[in-house]
Amino acid sequence: MLRASVVLGCWGVVCALLAQEVDVAILQSREGGFYADAVQRFHQELEKQGVSAQTLTFALKGDRSDQDLPRRILERKPAVILAVGTDAALLLKAHYEKLPPAQQVPVVFTMVVDPVGQGLIRDVERSGARFAGVALAVRPLRQLRVLQDIKPDIKRVGVLYNPKDPVSQRILAQAREDAARLNLSLQEAPLEQPAQMGTALQLLAGKVDALWLIPDPVCAAPEPSQQVLEFAHKNRIVVLAFSDSFVRRGALVGAGVDMAEQGTLAAEQVVRILNGEKPEDLPLLTPRRALTYYNLKTARALGVTIPDMLLNLAERCTNEATGLARAAIVVLRTDGTGARGSSRRATL
């Protein structure tokens, strides 16, 4: 059976344990942030299901050393690889294209926006590949409606993104269509490097009523996203983000999937594989919850009143440890039963 759980995230420790075999190797697209939240929930779910698995965690650094990570991971002879984020999943996919099927260890991915379009799986009902996992699927329409719910006079929404990132390209393609349906004008500011954030923001100065922060690896990184929040604060602009971490830092509203839940769903897939199921036979899992977060301090500073109906739907209201925000957290189920509440505002 599986050995006792040992979680090793430090690269120095990884190098010291080159010969050690593991049950689950974890490859994160980046260290920290919402990737770490998903991995933490992954371990919690394994424990909850009574699975004791030895794991080893790696993280991409964004340099040439990344290309050697798949080989190093396979040297540990894991039963399953967990790929957290699109970059990690695509790196493994590229490596597997050079390997015979017998050497392709099952991969469970999570936090991937479009796994079918990116060639990780063949169909949502049945993977048909050595990859199976969890989609990070939130239609822009649902997010943009949140802006209209809390500030109906918003007409111009600025979005920053890396035009070379395939995930961001797909999000923007959907967003253009959805913005038109909502009579919103989408103002785009492309940038390929974090150092270009200042210039991109200046392109939007005076041209937008709100900024929309999408899960783009360049724009959502800690330093560039902080520039977005500071720009918005200085110019009194609403920021719509995709997770609560940005709301805690000053964004007015966050709307999207529960990032940590992505780890829970990934654990379910991993357990099925460890119990003998083939990744080729597994369906694509999608988020079961949609979360909306509000920063009430930011709302007061901007003179924005969050409708009582939305606040009354909150599962809980918390005072964040920073003392900067009181976040009302609205949890809406998207598991096929529909959202709690009957109005459009409740259903996003």
Per CATH, 11-137+259-281 and 140-258+289-347 having the same topology is answered yes
Burial tier of 226 (Cβ tally within 10 Å: 0-12, 13-18, 19+): middle
Separation between Cα atoms, residue 86 and residue 90, nearest integer Å:
6
The pLDDT of residue 107 is: 98
At the topology level, CATH places domain 11-137+259-281 in Rossmann fold (3.40.50)
Which neighbouring-strand residues pair with 238? 210
Separation between Cα atoms, residue 26 and residue 65, nearest integer Å:
16
CB contact set of 208 (below 8 Å; sequence gap of 6+): 156, 157, 158, 187, 237
Instruction: Return averaged pLDDT per consecutive 10 residues of the chain, 348 residues in all.
Output: 40 42 88 86 95 92 94 96 96 97 96 90 95 89 91 96 89 94 97 96 96 92 95 96 88 87 96 96 90 88 88 50 47 41 27
Strand 185-190 vs strand 238-241: parallel, antiparallel, or unpaired?
Answer: unpaired
340: its two tokens = 């709690």
DSSP state of 124: S
CA distances from 120 to 89, 106, 110 (A): 8, 12, 11
The pLDDT of residue 15 is: 42
Coil, helix or strand for 330? strand
Instruction: Write down how long the chain is.
Output: 348
Strands annotated E in 175-233: 185-190, 210-212
- The domain spans of the chain are 11-137+259-281, 140-258+289-347
Estimate the share of the chain in helix, then strand, then coil, as percent rounded to the nearest 5. 40, 20, 40
DSSP state of 102: G
DSSP code per residue over 286-315: --SEEEEEEEHHHHHHHTPPPPHHHHHTEE
Domain 140-258+289-347 has CATH 3.40.50.300: no
